[in-house]
Amino acid sequence: MHLARFPRRRYTAGPTPLDRMPHLEQRLAADLGRPVPELWIKRDDLLGLTAGGNKTRKLEFLVADALAQGADTLITVGAVQSNHCRLTASAAVREGMACRLVLEERVPGSFHADASGNHLLFGLLGVERAHVVPAGTDLHAAMEALTADLDAQGRRAYLIPGGGSNALGALGYVACAEELMDQSFDQGVAFDHLVVASGSGGTHAGLVAGLHGVNANLQITGISVRAERGAQEAKIHGLAQEVATLAGVAAPVPQAAVAVEDGYVGPGYSLPTDAMVAAVRLFARTEGILLDPVYTGKAAAGLLDLVRQGRFAAGERVVFVHTGGAAALYAYRDVVASQVPTA
């Protein structure tokens, strides 16, 4: 792979931590009455830009391309509590650019102009304009519509797809795959499985392509947060092959490298589940790690259930890629909060 030939901005000083979660292991072993696999976490919630998260890695390549094209404004799309939109706005601030958003109301009635969480941060970060559209809108056309007055002003926009999930953005997770393998070697830890949230697809596909490219022989399971298994696997495989080709990986990405579990979505994208709430609370109370209610909470619920099912053997090592998003917790306070006893 030849990533050095791609322009890249750097928003994180070094690699994100790779840590074991011993207290979570102990809790699960006690609950199950049997040994559990080693559970590790790759802390991509600690990436640079405002409040961190996986989209930072993608934006390093996408914003570099925007600057190379002379753009002065970033335009992107996401749900009404989009982590990607928050980080795109943050990257725009870092680069002295403007930012405009298209917010898709994937759940009717979920947009509130005075919402907390990421929506609060859109305003603090100085987003120039946000256009709210209903689910099913042609999002690329909606982004194009926001460029009309920019063109009239002689400005130049750069359009970023939802989640930054095109082949160029997914290079960020090819780079992450290389980083993970370097850390694995340095720490003397060989992993058997990797679990990650699977949404717009760039993170999952980039990891598939990157780990395939370095012959890691590491089984990846994506926990879908929206789509059904067949559609998501087809999307991930197609994007993984596209990014592998871009990165210079000669061998085709095998279909078997892509696995998706879709049993943790619940009633729909961003809609809470009891398993998500339990996972958010368990990670917080055993490891002091905050998950988000839309992506990492449901992905962690999947991880925990797979452990309970015995899908990973005792003695195996499983790494969970934490893709961030804790800022969204504050918009779900009524769902995830629990009362602290007071005297």
Q: How far is CA 177 from the centre of its chain?
A: 14
Q: How many Cα neighbours within 13 Å face the side chain of 285? A: 13
141-148's contacts with Cβ under 8 Å and 24+ in sequence apart are 142/77, 142/102, 143/75, 143/76, 143/77, 143/102, 146/75, 146/100, 146/102, 147/75
Phi and psi at residue 337, in whole multiples of 5°?
-70, 150
Q: Name the DSSP class of 254.
A: P
In sequence order, which residues have a C-beta less than 8 Å from that of residue 343 and are 6 or more positions away? none
Q: Name the DSSP class of 16.
A: P
Report the C-alpha dihedral over residues 221, 243, 83, 46, rounded to 10 degrees.
Answer: 70
Is 82 noted as a catalytic residue in this protein? yes
At CA 329, angle to CA 325 and CA 334, rounded to 5? 160
Q: How many Cα neighbours within 13 Å face the side chain of 310? A: 4
Kindly name the residue from 82, 110, 165, 270 that is annotated as catalytic. Answer: 82
d(CA 293, CA 336): 8
Catalogue the active-site residues.
82
